[in-house]
């Protein structure tokens, strides 16, 4: 019987020293609990999302040195952990030193070599080349190595044998993507299980949270255990890691499946903990229910953990939030107040002459409900001064000596207000109190750039920018009902029409608000960015002409017809947003704050984009002409 400790570890990316110290503690605890094996996640020493830090030789050496010190701890416990591995005599195809994403297993101070591997560690075989992942940029896969050695990968993939208490255990050790082989032309697990009699599969991972992903993981991994009749231990890290623009939470949710595919142990999401399980042919644990994780509570948990950890990592204790009386800033306020404490949150309402008594009242009510710090800082004087200063300014053409004056249009005035709020007041006040100010943008706004650069588009973190507007509303209701258990976000904020209130046209009291019709556009925009094969106006127009649009988008039936009675109106709306999504919104996203990712496609490093302007395919133009009764 083998006592296994799986260590759901909070990895500090880029800080091997901290990870090393914490690993020592976890190992000592496991030793005291007489565990035979302790298993840490993938890349537990260096971290996983490090950008080009992988090109620093000194960093590689440092990680290897700490790895050696961990190996030295394996006197009476088998330690399995992920780390970088380096072959200083070989090169990657970029000409830099050869690096492997490796799994080390050490026992009695020595590394265990997989039977057929040329190295004393297991090498990640399959590399994710999608979403936020960049493995191919830095590492050499076992597949690459097999090709280099002119061997089929089957001849390298082999288990690690460890002799514990006089008994030999055959461990099939893989890393993360190796267990997600559906789209590859071979499966590392199948190869291992077909060629060897294994006692256990071990999958060490650094797998970021994505809404709903664990449901799929349970299906896939449970089947792997059952099909191969072997227990599977999945150890994932917690923590946050980022690619600069996009911040991922890692939820852990480490799980042990028995040989029947039942969950027999699992670790709560976002909890750092050693968990122990005894594996033997005889002993069997009761099957646990499959955790569900596809509701707003799950997203809420990811946001809370992500915000808290990010603030901790950047050493920010105080936060300023500009509140407008709208839903996004209200949800941000309730969220931050809960995560870092109301005493660390300052809410600032910044009215102009266009802000209604309604929204000013709702802002005040929100602030009072939450019990945060609260201030009102009006913008009208500086906005008026600015418009006046611009119009008075003499712009001289120094070639002709002609004097010109600029004219400030209504649209330009709108953006002056937005920038005055964020760049003058929020940024200044945040600096004065020694904190940061939040960006409260949602994903619908972010998609089409319905925001002002250096205005409401700015902030140190866009915590809600991976949530569609309907999810922001869901979160508002969840915060009131489940978190605070009282109406902290006034119902009036949930009910009011969303509006920027930057001009007399955007009068909330007259029900005039954003040009975005969220019940439809949330889903239209989602198809642009989150569909596996990305949707473009061509697809939309085909579905529209077939009458299957709402079905494809997943929104309420009949919405297109309701908002856009004619094909001409429908197409004008479609092109309006597509032009923005692929035009000005890209320029804005380039300069947008980091986004906390929760969806299966977040802006930033996950959804990579170029500023190339809008494009319409030939097939789109033909179908459009047909629908409009014109010639293409």
If the CB atoms of residues 59 and 276 are measured against its own copies, the closer one turns out to be 59
Q: Does 64 bind its own copies (CB under 8 A)?
A: no
Which of residues 91, 110, 481, 568 is near its own copies by CB under 8 A?
91
Rounded least distance, CB 114 to its own copies, Å? 21
Spell out, one character per residue from 181 to 220, where the chain touches its own copies: x when CB under 8 A holds, - when not.
-xxxx-----------------------------------
Residues 420-439 within binding reach of its own copies (CB under 8 A)? 420, 422-425, 427-429, 431-433
If the CB atoms of residues 498 and 593 are measured against its own copies, the closer one turns out to be 593
H/E run at residue 572: helix 567-581
Q: Does 89 bind its own copies (CB under 8 A)?
A: no
Which of residues 10, 42, 134, 522 is near its own copies by CB under 8 A?
134
Q: Does 394 bind its own copies (CB under 8 A)?
A: yes
Residues 141-180 within binding reach of its own copies (CB under 8 A)? 143, 147-148, 150, 152
Which of residues 276, 390, 484, 563 is near its own copies by CB under 8 A?
390
Which of residues 317, 534, 562, 568 is near its own copies by CB under 8 A?
534
Q: Does 495 bind its own copies (CB under 8 A)?
A: no
Q: d(Cα 380, Cα 417) in Å, to the nearest integer? A: 8
DSSP bridge partners of 85 = 100
Tokens of 625: 């002409």
If the CB atoms of residues 52 and 168 are measured against its own copies, the closer one turns out to be 52
If the CB atoms of residues 113 and 136 are measured against its own copies, the closer one turns out to be 136
Radius of gyration of the chain (CA): 28
Tokens 């940061």 found at:
436
Taking CB under 8 A as the binding criterion, the range among 29-37, 112-120, 266-274, 408-416 that sits at the site for its own copies is 408-416
Tokens of 471: 């999810």
Rounded least distance, CB 275 to its own copies, Å? 27
If the CB atoms of residues 47 and 114 are measured against its own copies, the closer one turns out to be 47
Which of residues 57, 284, 292, 491 is near its own copies by CB under 8 A?
57
Rounded least distance, CB 393 to its own copies, Å? 5
Q: Does 50 bind its own copies (CB under 8 A)?
A: yes
Residues 309-368 within binding reach of its own copies (CB under 8 A)? 313-314, 342-343, 346, 367-368
Q: Does 623 bind its own copies (CB under 8 A)?
A: no
Q: d(Cα 86, Cα 61) in Å, to the nearest integer? A: 9
Q: Does 416 bind its own copies (CB under 8 A)?
A: yes
CA dihedral angle for residue 590, residue 592, residue 595, residue 599, rounded to 10 degrees: -60
Q: d(Cα 89, Cα 384) in Å, to the nearest integer? A: 67
Residues 95-124 within binding reach of its own copies (CB under 8 A)? 95-97
Q: What is the DSSP letter of 121?
A: S
Whether residue 173 contacts residue 80, with contact meaning beta carbons closer than 8 Å, is answered with: yes
If the CB atoms of residues 95 and 629 are measured against its own copies, the closer one turns out to be 95
Q: Does 558 bind its own copies (CB under 8 A)?
A: no
Q: Does 445 bind its own copies (CB under 8 A)?
A: no
- Tell me how long the chain is: 632
Taking CB under 8 A as the binding criterion, the range among 29-37, 191-199, 326-334, 604-612 that sits at the site for its own copies is 604-612
Tokens 């200083």 found at:
88
* Closest among 78, 72, 65, 71 to 34, alpha carbons compared: 78
Q: Does 611 bind its own copies (CB under 8 A)?
A: yes
Taking CB under 8 A as the binding criterion, the range among 44-52, 196-204, 228-236, 323-331 that sits at the site for its own copies is 44-52
Q: What is the DSSP string of 199-254?
A: SEEEEEE-----TTHHHHHHHHHHHHHHHHTS-EEEEE-EEEEE-SSEEEEEE---
Residue 497 exposed, middle or buried by CB count within 10 Å (0-12, 13-18, 19+): middle
CA distances from 48 to 84, 120, 187 (A): 9, 21, 23
Residues 227-256 within binding reach of its own copies (CB under 8 A)? 241-245
Rounded least distance, CB 42 to its own copies, Å? 16
Q: d(Cα 472, Cα 466) in Å, to the nearest integer? A: 10
Q: Does 535 bind its own copies (CB under 8 A)?
A: yes
Residue 173 exposed, middle or buried by CB count within 10 Å (0-12, 13-18, 19+): buried
Q: d(Cα 47, Cα 13) in Å, to the nearest integer? A: 4
Q: Where are the alpha helices (DSSP H) in 449-504?
A: 469-478, 491-495
Q: Does 590 bind its own copies (CB under 8 A)?
A: yes
Rounded least distance, CB 608 to its own copies, Å? 4
Which of residues 108, 163, 617, 632 is near its own copies by CB under 8 A?
617
Q: Does 440 bind its own copies (CB under 8 A)?
A: no
* Closest among 332, 362, 367, 327 to 494, alpha carbons compared: 327
Q: How far is CA 74 from the centre of its chain?
A: 35
Q: What is the DSSP string of 318-333?
A: -EEEE--SSHHHHHHH
């Amino acid at each position: 019987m083998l006592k296994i400790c799986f260590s759901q570890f909070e990895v500090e990316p880029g800080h091997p020293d901290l990870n090393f110290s914490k690993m020592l503690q976890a190992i000592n605890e496991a030793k005291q609990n007489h565990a035979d094996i302790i298993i840490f996640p993938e890349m537990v020493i260096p971290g996983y999302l490090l950008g080009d830090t992988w090109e620093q030789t000194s960093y590689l050496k440092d990680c290897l040195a700490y790895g050696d010190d961990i190996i030295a701890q394996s006197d009476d416990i088998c330690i399995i952990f992920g780390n970088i591995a380096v072959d200083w005599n070989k090169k990657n195809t970029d000409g830099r030193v050869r690096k492997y994403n490796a799994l080390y297993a050490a026992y009695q101070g020595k590394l265990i070599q997989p039977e057929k591997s040329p190295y004393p560690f297991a090498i990640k075989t399959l590399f994710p080349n999608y979403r936020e992942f960049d493995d191919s940029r830095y590492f050499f896969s076992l597949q690459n190595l097999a090709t280099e050695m002119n061997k089929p990968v089957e001849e390298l993939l082999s288990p690690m044998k460890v002799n514990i208490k006089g008994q030999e255990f055959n461990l099939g050790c893989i890393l993360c993507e190796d267990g997600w082989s559906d789209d590859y032309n071979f499966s590392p697990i199948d190869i291992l299980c077909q060629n060897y009699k294994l006692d256990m599969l071990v999958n060490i991972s650094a797998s970021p949270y994505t809404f709903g992903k664990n449901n799929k993981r349970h299906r896939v991994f449970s089947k792997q255990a059952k099909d191969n009749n072997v227990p599977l231990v999945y150890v994932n890290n917690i923590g946050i890691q980022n690619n600069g623009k996009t911040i991922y939470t890692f939820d852990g949710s480490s799980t042990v499946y028995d040989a029947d595919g039942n969950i027999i142990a699992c670790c709560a999401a976002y909890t750092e903990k050693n968990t122990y399980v005894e594996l033997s042919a005889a002993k069997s644990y009761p099957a646990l229910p499959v955790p569900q994780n596809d509701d707003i509570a799950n997203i809420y948990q990811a946001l809370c953990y992500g915000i808290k950890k990010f603030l901790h990592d950047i050493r920010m204790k105080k936060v300023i939030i500009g509140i407008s009386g709208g839903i996004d800033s209200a949800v941000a306020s309730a969220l931050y107040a809960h995560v870092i404490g109301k005493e660390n949150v300052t809410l600032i309402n910044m009215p102009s002459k266009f802000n209604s008594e309604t929204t000013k009242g709702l802002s005040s009510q929100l602030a009072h409900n939450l019990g945060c710090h609260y201030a009102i800082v009006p913008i009208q004087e500086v906005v008026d001064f600015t418009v006046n200063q611009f119009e008075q300014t003499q712009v001289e053409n120094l070639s002709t000596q002609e004097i010109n004056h600029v004219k400030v249009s209504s649209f330009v005035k709108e953006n002056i207000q937005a920038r005055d709020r964020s760049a003058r007041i929020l940024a200044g006040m945040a600096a004065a109190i020694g904190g940061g100010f939040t960006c409260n943008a949602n994903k619908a706004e972010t998609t089409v750039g319905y925001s002002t650069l250096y205005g409401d588009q700015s902030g140190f973190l866009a915590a809600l920018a991976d949530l569609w507007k309907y999810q922001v509303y869901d979160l508002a209701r969840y915060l009131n009902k489940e978190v605070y258990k009282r109406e902290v976000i006034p119902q009036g904020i949930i009910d009011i029409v969303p509006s920027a209130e930057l001009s007399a046209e955007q009068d909330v009291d007259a029900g005039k608000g954003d040009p975005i019709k969220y019940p439809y556009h949330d889903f239209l925009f989602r198809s642009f960015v989150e569909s596996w094969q990305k949707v473009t106006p061509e697809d939309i127009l085909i579905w529209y002409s077939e009458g299957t649009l709402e079905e494809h988008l997943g929104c309420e039936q009949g919405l297109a017809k309701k908002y856009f009675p004619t094909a001409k109106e429908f197409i004008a709306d479609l092109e309006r947003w597509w032009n923005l999504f692929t035009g000005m919104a890209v320029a804005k996203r380039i300069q947008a704050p980091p986004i906390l990712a929760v969806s299966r496609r977040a802006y930033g490093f996950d959804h990579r984009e170029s500023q190339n302007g809008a494009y319409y395919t030939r097939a789109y133009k033909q179908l459009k002409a047909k629908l409009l009764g014109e010639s293409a």
